[in-house]
């Protein structure tokens, strides 16, 4: 029987990272367990901040010093140094935005001022350059630093340097490499132009805010097989951190206020949906929030809101977008409950 991605990563961590400093300890659950779902302050591997829990990690290295958890201000005598989330996705046909899906797992640690590592084991596919950019810009905004790696020896070297001046310098130098990888692709694909990026990535850029639109519907988030929650969260963090100095409105034109209320009720314990609804500086908007939209366009979106985006439904959706996107760009349409009126 083939090992799961989780088992492969945890085995590799234990086999590869042998520490020189006995003061540094590791927390890792090698057997199938739900313990990693508990907050770090309660013996688990999940980090949260300001009442919001992010995804669980695979391992965390810590020392016996006082630390205050940013999730609920619990104080414990275990100070995390590096929290790592790993995946074997590059060997499992994960070449596109599916790689973003686990980005938030180590992000909780980064928000707490800890070094967060997203480890993608080398495989058939390459790491998306966008991931390096997301982690780089998250490190600009948040208290901690975020690293994207494909080699555990980088983590081992960092741990060996902990407590020395070289620790911070190593991270700074590595993040320069991350930015170079991101920027090389950004220059090649978009000619270094954020407006071109926006056109190709369903995004509208304004002075103080950005809007990203996606054809999600309620069913996408209810049926687990569609994994829309994971993908939507990954795209949300990409947009949030690329435009970290702007307000971010996540627009789902095929959804309604009623759909959001239904999901808020049915997905109360769903981590991805909770993140989408509670991430600072991010707001979900629906067709009901588009002020100035002609009634017939709104009616068309209502008629197709529960239908998959293909065939005639896709055609109708694109026609509706041909009205909505120019309107939001030129200010003839706005979003309810926003400051967009000031940028008409």
What confidence tens digit (pLDDT) does each residue in 140-151 have? 999 999 999 999
The answer to whether 47 and 114 are in contact (CB under 8 A) is yes
11 has a pLDDT exceeding 60 = yes
In angstroms, rounded to a whole number, what is the distance separating the alpha carbons of residues 93 and 174? 27
Q: What is the pLDDT of residue 95?
A: 67
Higher-scoring residue by pLDDT: 77, 224: 77
Q: Residue 269: pLDDT band by 50, 70, 90 thresholds?
A: confident
Question: How far from each other are the two terminal CA atoms of the chain, in whole angstroms?
Answer: 60
Question: Which pLDDT tens digit goes with each residue over 45-57?
Answer: 999 999 999 989 9
Question: Span 248-273, mean pLDDT?
Answer: 94
The answer to whether 94 and 123 are in contact (CB under 8 A) is no
The answer to whether 144 and 158 are in contact (CB under 8 A) is no
- What's the length of the chain? 344
Q: What is the pLDDT of residue 276?
A: 95
The answer to whether 7 and 33 are in contact (CB under 8 A) is no
In angstroms, rounded to a whole number, what is the distance separating the alpha carbons of residues 167 and 92? 33
In angstroms, rounded to a whole number, what is the distance separating the alpha carbons of residues 224 and 61? 32
Q: Residue 97: pLDDT band by 50, 70, 90 thresholds?
A: confident
Q: Residue 341: pLDDT band by 50, 70, 90 thresholds?
A: low
Q: What is the pLDDT of residue 227?
A: 64
Higher-scoring residue by pLDDT: 232, 174: 174
Mean of the per-residue pLDDT values for the chain?
A: 93
Q: Residue 1: pLDDT band by 50, 70, 90 thresholds?
A: very low
Q: Residue 344: pLDDT band by 50, 70, 90 thresholds?
A: low
Question: Which pLDDT tens digit goes with each residue over 120-139?
Answer: 999 899 999 999 999 999 99
Question: Span 108-131, mean pLDDT?
Answer: 95
Query: pLDDT over 90 for what percent of the chain?
Result: 82
User: Residue 288 has which token pair?
Assistant: 């009901």
Q: What distance lies between CA 30 and its chain's CA centroid?
A: 25
> Using CB atoms within 10 A of its CB, is residue 78 exposed (0-12), middle (13-18) or buried (19+)?
middle
> Using CB atoms within 10 A of its CB, is residue 300 exposed (0-12), middle (13-18) or buried (19+)?
middle
């Amino acid at each position: 029987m083939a090992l799961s991605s989780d088992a492969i990563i945890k085995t590799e961590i234990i086999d590869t990272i042998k520490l020189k400093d006995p003061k540094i300890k590791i927390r890792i659950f090698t057997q199938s367990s739900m313990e990693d779902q508990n907050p770090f302050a309660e013996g688990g591997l999940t980090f949260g901040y300001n009442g919001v829990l992010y995804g669980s990690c695979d391992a965390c290295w810590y020392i016996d010093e006082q630390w205050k958890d940013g999730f609920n201000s619990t104080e414990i005598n275990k100070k995390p140094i590096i929290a790592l989330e790993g995946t074997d996705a590059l060997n499992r046909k994960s070449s596109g935005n599916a790689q973003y899906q686990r980005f938030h797992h180590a992000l909780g640690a980064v928000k707490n001022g800890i070094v967060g590592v997203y480890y993608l084991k080398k495989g058939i596919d390459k790491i998306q350059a966008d991931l390096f950019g997301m982690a780089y810009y998250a490190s600009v905004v948040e208290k901690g630093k975020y690293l994207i790696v494909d080699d555990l020896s980088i983590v081992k070297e960092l741990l060996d340097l902990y407590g020395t001046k070289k620790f911070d310098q190593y991270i700074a130098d590595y993040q320069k490499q991350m930015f170079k990888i991101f920027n090389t692709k950004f220059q090649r694909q978009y000619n270094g132009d954020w407006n071109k990026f926006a056109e190709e990535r369903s995004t509208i850029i304004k002075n103080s805010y950005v809007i990203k639109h996606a054809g999600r519907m309620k069913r996408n988030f209810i049926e687990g097989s569609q994994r829309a929650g994971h993908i939507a969260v990954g795209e949300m963090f990409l947009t949030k951190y690329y435009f970290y100095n702007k307000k971010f409105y996540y627009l789902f034109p095929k959804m309604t206020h009623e759909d959001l209320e239904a999901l808020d009720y049915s997905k109360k314990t769903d981590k991805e949906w909770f993140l989408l609804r509670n991430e600072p500086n991010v707001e979900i908007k629906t067709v009901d929030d588009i002020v100035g939209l002609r009634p017939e366009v709104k009616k068309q979106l209502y008629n197709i809101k529960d239908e998959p985006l293909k065939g005639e439904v896709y055609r109708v959706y694109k026609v509706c977008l041909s009205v909505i996107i120019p309107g939001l760009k030129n200010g003839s349409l706005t979003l309810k409950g926003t400051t967009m009126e000031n940028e008409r």
